Chain A
């Protein structure tokens, strides 16, 4: 149980285009979903927290107009990287929790490369 999927697992896009990443909780309903970014050999850095049906809460330094998060249902959250630039290239990971921040189930991640 507690499986989280992400799609796509790997995407290459051109600079200036937008990319949407999906995060789904497959066998449970997630009240909260989290989006992280990880650069090589670095920590997972929380970008934003989203609760179903409400606006996401972004961490300091994360541009909410660039990283659009939609959490339309209890099983789906999307992250859209708008007007992507090469510096947005990273590994994006989502996680989902049912009731507690302490129990987060992570997706497999999405590797974004912007050329």
Chain B
């Protein structure tokens, strides 16, 4: 049973436009959510996170929104750049236990 779901395996966006990556979760006890970016043959790198007590966190071009009632979070990248092309993983954790990852969404930004 997947507790963290990224239902879109891929997303294509033009440079300069907004990229919106979505993530749904089933465990209402999750209290912290993270987004990671991963290039092929490399480990994930941390992008941005959000605590369950917040509904928005912003860091430069990256903003994460959390909708607890819908058990949904999204990562917005504005403006998208070709260098943003990578696989994006959503992860969640409950009270400092193991990170649960989604399957990832491959973002392709074309110039």
Contact = CB atoms under 8 A, between A and B. Distances in A.
Interface of A: 4, 6, 9, 34, 41-46, 49, 59, 93-95, 100-109, 111
What size tier do the contact residues of chain B reach? 20 to 34
A9 B43 CA distance: 11
B41 A111 contact: yes
Contacts of B21: none
Interface string B77-106: 000000000000100010011111111100
A102 B49 contact: yes
Contacts of A34: 98
A46 B100 CA distance: 8
A109 B42 contact: yes
19 contacts: A4-B43, A9-B41, A43-B89, A43-B102, A43-B104, A44-B44, A44-B101, A45-B101, A46-B99, A59-B98, A94-B43, A100-B96, A101-B96, A101-B99, A102-B96, A103-B46, A104-B46, A104-B99, A105-B46
B93 to A, nearest CB: 6
A43 B101 contact: yes
Interface of B: 2, 4, 9, 32, 34, 36, 41-46, 49, 89, 93, 96-104
A25 to B, nearest CB: 13
A108 B41 contact: yes
A4 B46 CA distance: 13
Given A41-B103, A101-B93, A109 B43 contact: yes
B98 A49 contact: yes
Contact of B97 (A94, A100, A101): A101
A44 B43 CA distance: 10
Contacts of A103: 46
A59 B100 CA distance: 12
A45 B13 CA distance: 29
B50 to A, nearest CB: 11
Contacts of B43: 4, 6, 93-95, 106-109
